[in-house]
Amino acid sequence: MISTKARLGKDIVTKEGVIIEDDVIIGDSCYLDYGCIIRKGVKLGENSYVGPNCILGEFQMDFHNDRDSEYNPKSLTIGNNALIRSHTVIYSGSAIGRNFQTGHHVTVRENVEAGQNLRVGTLSDIQGTCKIGDYVNFHSNVHIAMYSKIGNYVWIFPFFMSTNDPIPPSEIISGCTIDDYAVIATKATLLPGIKIGEGAFIGAGSVVTKDIPSNMLAVGNPAKIKDHVSSLKHPETLEPAYPWKLRFDRGMPWEFDME
């Protein structure tokens, strides 16, 4: 079902079972795969791909609280060249920049403001009301709590969890902050209100209970500061492996500049 009140660009592929509701705007050259659902008011940039059984513009709680009222969606805006893989759900009320990519079975809730080149891996769960910079990489199964603030060029690996409630359950919200270029290895946890400094490295399985300063390496449960990140060596060259931006450029804006 494609609404006659939707505005579709040129050269759009719509496979069997696609749903496009009223007031949707879709840019040129998009590919909408089997059975994806684009709810009322979504704006999707050109050359984007939406996988099977995805939902864009998912209902927020106000719809469920009163399904009989006229549904007045907050817009969801996604920039050009998005690649949204199957079974992903993105709520209304968020704005995501260009070159957005997701894996499968991802959830992104409302009030997320994200920059360009965000990548969100399979089974990740962005709980909403958070701010994410440019060129951020969430690997699979990354869980971002509400009220998190994430800078640019941040890498977060699987089974990460940020939290926000110091005495659950409560009405206190104390979001975490992760600054530019930080790297958080697999299965790390941030307790409520923690701040990870620019370029810091958090080791696998760490539970971070205190703020970690810029460019420091922290490991353990509770995480302890071990050294400067430059103490981590490249296993072959034995040169300092961090800051990583001096040695890695795939998909980064400085790609092809390095020698």
Residues that bind a second copy (CB under 8 A): 1, 13, 16-17, 19, 31, 34-35, 37, 49, 52-53, 55, 58, 64, 67, 83, 86-87, 89, 103-105, 107, 122-123, 125, 127, 137, 140-141, 143, 155, 157-159, 161, 163, 166-172, 174, 183, 185-187, 189, 191, 204-205, 207, 220-221, 232, 234-236, 241-242, 244, 247-248, 250
User: In the complex, what is the shortest distance from the CB of residue 131 to a second copy, in angstroms, rounded to a whole number?
Assistant: 20
- Token reading at 71: 């549904």
Q: Which residues pair with 19 in a beta bridge?
A: 37
Please report where in the chains the tokens 């949204």 appear, as a residue: 84
Q: For residues 23 and 249, which CB has a smaller minimum distance to a second copy in the complex?
A: 249
Beta carbon of residue 123, minimum distance to a second copy (angstroms, whole number): 6
Q: Would you state the structure tokens that stand for residue 202, as one six-digit string?
A: 């958090």
229 three-state secondary structure: helix
Q: How far is the CB of 34 from a second copy (least distance, A)?
A: 6
Nearer to a second copy, 74 or 187 (CB): 187
Helices H, strands E: what count in the chain?
Answer: 1, 32
* Residue 243, preceding peptide bond in cis (omega within 30° of 0): yes
Continuous segment of H or E residues that includes residue 227: strand 224-228
User: What is the rounded CA–CA span in Å between residue 150 and residue 32?
Assistant: 30
Closest CA to 191 of 170, 222, 159, 214: 222
Tokens of 58: 């998912």
**Residue with smaller CB distance to a second copy, 43 or 119:** 119
Beta strands across the sheet bearing 31-32:
13-14, 31-32, 49-50, 83-84, 101-102, 119-120, 137-138, 155-156, 183-184, 201-202, 216-219, 224-228
Q: How far is the CB of 134 from a second copy (least distance, A)?
A: 15
State which residue, 31 or 228, has the beta carbon closest to a second copy.
Answer: 31
For a second copy, the closer CB: 17 or 213: 17
Q: Are residues 100 and 106 in contact, defined by beta-carbon separation less than 8 angstroms?
A: no
> At its nearest, how many Å lie between a second copy and the CB of residue 235?
5
What minimum distance in Å lies between the beta carbon of 76 and a second copy? 15
Q: Considering beta carbons, is residue 114 or 160 the nearer one to a second copy?
A: 160
> Smallest distance, Å, CB 43 to a second copy?
20
CA distance 209 to 154: 20
